Amino acid sequence: MKLNLSLQQEFKSSDLVLKRVQLKKTIEVTLRHVDIDSDCEIGIACVDHEESHRLNLEYRGKDKSTNVLSFPSDIPEEVLPLLDARPLGDLVICIPVVLQEAIEQDKTAHDHFMHMLVHGTLHLLGYDHELSDEDAEEMEALEIEILAKLGLENPYLER
């Protein structure tokens, strides 16, 4: 599997240093865990509160910033065989929200960001925790398994 990663860091923080190789590994482990081994493309934008708020309001009708927004590719299935890599879509990750949540949840910024990266990637693949309790449990279980493969703790444990 080859992963093409586009990374836009419109917002940076010295509290969270992102390394492209680590981001790619996290996404690749996620994809392999759900049995995707074809070449893929993904875009990641790291943004501030204002941009996250604007996008969350525009696309989800929610008047606040949020940790991660997922925009799955809408390329028709019949076109996919013509492409060199399967476009998964784009993730928009709000760094200030991730940093604040990490503090509130007593986690490192790095670990929480990686969780949001796995979580968002699963959304791009069609997983959704808001449809039913069963869907939420399935998605959480996948996240726990994937993060364990990456050497990260279960993010849902109470601290």
Q: Does position 146 have pLDDT exceeding 90, yes or no?
A: yes
Q: Does position 75 have pLDDT exceeding 80, yes or no?
A: yes
The pLDDT tens digits for 15-66 are: 899 999 999 999 999 999 999 999 999 999 999 999 999 999 999 999 999 9
β 86-94/40-47 pair status? parallel
CA angle 101, 104, 108 (to 5 degrees): 70
* pTM for this entry: 0.94
Task: Reply yes or no on domain 1-148 having CATH 3.40.50.300.
Answer: no
Q: Which residues are annotated as a binding site?
A: 119, 123, 129
Contact indicator for 155, 107 with CB cutoff of 8 Å: yes
The pLDDT tens digits for 86-135 are: 999 999 999 999 999 999 999 999 999 999 999 999 999 999 877 777 88
Alpha-carbon distance of 124 to 39, in angstroms, equals 15
Alpha-carbon distance of 142 to 150, in angstroms, equals 12
Place of tokens 């968002």: 120
Q: Which residues are annotated as a binding site for Zn(2+)?
A: 119, 123, 129
